[in-house]
């Protein structure tokens, strides 16, 4: 492992540990140290979100995953967390809590054919290191491949191990999905896929909130978003709202900004009034 700089919430470099698949970050949403599993080391994703911090992002899928290498990296890293001095050397004192093992990284994790096997591998690693029940197992996903049987198998395995899905919903109208995520996904497909995820595993919706050209999302788009998620009250665990913490590395970076705290609070209130649990991470 590289003797790298201390971690911060604004630096989510995937190579900070000098490994192929495993990297540590301080996560605002998780509330401490998150160990990421990057199944897209080639920086390829099937979406292109305009706030994405992945350098040299390209459209596409991942290469074949070396599961033995992934296992070795996880075991080595978790051993350093549990028995070594990683927390003392790399993590600021107030964040020295291991919160989760998260499938995230530089693209859509479920696009890897090895995703179901990787879930089992990660669950086994937590158990071997005495972290089962003490550290969450998470999938951070755009949900776009949830119709696939293999992906459903992996998500069901995640659920069986007590894990959870953080399912990206940045907008629900065709215009918002195209503008923010560069996808032709329809509202019908999004609702179907979110329902599949919620039926297989505890699922949170995660939403990045930001301004574009100085303006927050239009009122009609916010109305559609709240109405759509209200239909999942009682079916999903809740909604995670988070403003930008790190600069985008996409062409639209200069057009993005932070919404006001009042705007975020108003959205939070509307979601709560719709019967949803809401967590906001600034």
**Which pLDDT value is given to residue 90?**
81
- Mean of the per-residue pLDDT values of the chain: 92
pLDDT at 232: 98
Identify the three-state secondary structure at position 37: strand
| Dihedral sign for Cα atoms in the order 251, 255, 261, 262 | negative
The tokens for 222 are 């916010």
Structure tokens at 79: 């051993």
**Neighbouring residues of 236: CB distance < 8 A, sequence distance ≥ 6:** 167, 194, 198, 203, 204, 205, 229, 276
Nearest of 90, 123, 104 to residue 2 by alpha carbon: 90
Tens-digit pLDDT profile for residues 197-247: 999 999 999 999 999 999 999 999 999 999 999 999 999 999 999 998 889
CATH dotted code for 22-280? 3.20.20.70
What distance in Å separates the CA atoms of residue 194 and residue 80, rounded to the nearest whole number? 36
Residue range 237-274, pLDDT digits in tens = 999 999 988 899 999 999 999 999 999 999 999 999 99
* pLDDT tens string 110-143: 999 999 999 999 999 999 999 999 999 999 999 9
For 30-78, the pLDDT digits (tens) are 678 889 999 999 999 999 999 999 999 999 999 999 999 999 999 999 9
Conformation bin of residue 267: beta by default, left when phi > 0, alpha when psi is -120 to 50:
alpha
> Ramachandran region of residue 222, left (φ > 0), alpha (ψ -120 to 50) or beta?
alpha
DSSP-based helix, strand, coil % in the chain, nearest 5: 35, 20, 40
pLDDT (0 to 100) of residue 63: 97
Domain range summary for the chain, segments of one domain joined by +: 22-280
Residue 147: count other Cβ atoms within 10 Å of its Cβ.
Answer: 12
């Amino acid at each position: 492992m590289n003797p790298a700089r201390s971690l911060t919430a604004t630096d989510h470099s995937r190579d900070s540990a000098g490994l192929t698949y495993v990297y540590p970050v301080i996560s605002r949403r998780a509330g401490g140290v998150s160990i990421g599993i990057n199944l897209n080391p080639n920086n390829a994703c099937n979406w292109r979100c305009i706030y994405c911090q992945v350098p040299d992002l390209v459209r596409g899928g991942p290469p074949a995953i070396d599961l033995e290498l992934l296992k070795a990296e996880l075991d080595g890293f978790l051993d350093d967390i549990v028995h070594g001095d990683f927390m003392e050397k790399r993590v600021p004192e107030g964040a020295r809590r291991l919160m989760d093992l998260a499938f995230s990284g530089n693209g859509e994790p479920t696009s890897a054919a090895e995703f179901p096997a990787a879930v089992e591998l990660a669950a086994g690693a937590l158990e071997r290191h005495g972290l089962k029940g003490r550290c969450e197992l998470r999938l951070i996903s755009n949900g776009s491949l949830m119709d696939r049987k293999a992906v459903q198998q992996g998500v069901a395995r995640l659920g069986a191990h007590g894990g959870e899905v953080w399912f990206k919903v940045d907008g629900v109208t065709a215009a918002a999905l195209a503008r923010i995520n560069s996808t032709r996904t329809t509202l019908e497909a999004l609702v179907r896929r979110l329902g599949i995820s919620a039926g297989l595993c505890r699922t949170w919706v995660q939403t990045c909130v930001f301004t574009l050209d100085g303006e927050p999302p239009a009122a009609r788009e916010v109305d559609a978003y709240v109405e759509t998620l209200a239909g999942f009250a009682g079916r999903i665990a809740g909604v995670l709202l988070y403003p930008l913490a790190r600069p985008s590395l996409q062409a639209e970076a200069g057009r993005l900004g932070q919404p006001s705290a009042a705007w975020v609070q108003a959205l939070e209130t509307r979601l709560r009034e719709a019967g949803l649990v809401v967590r906001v991470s600034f």
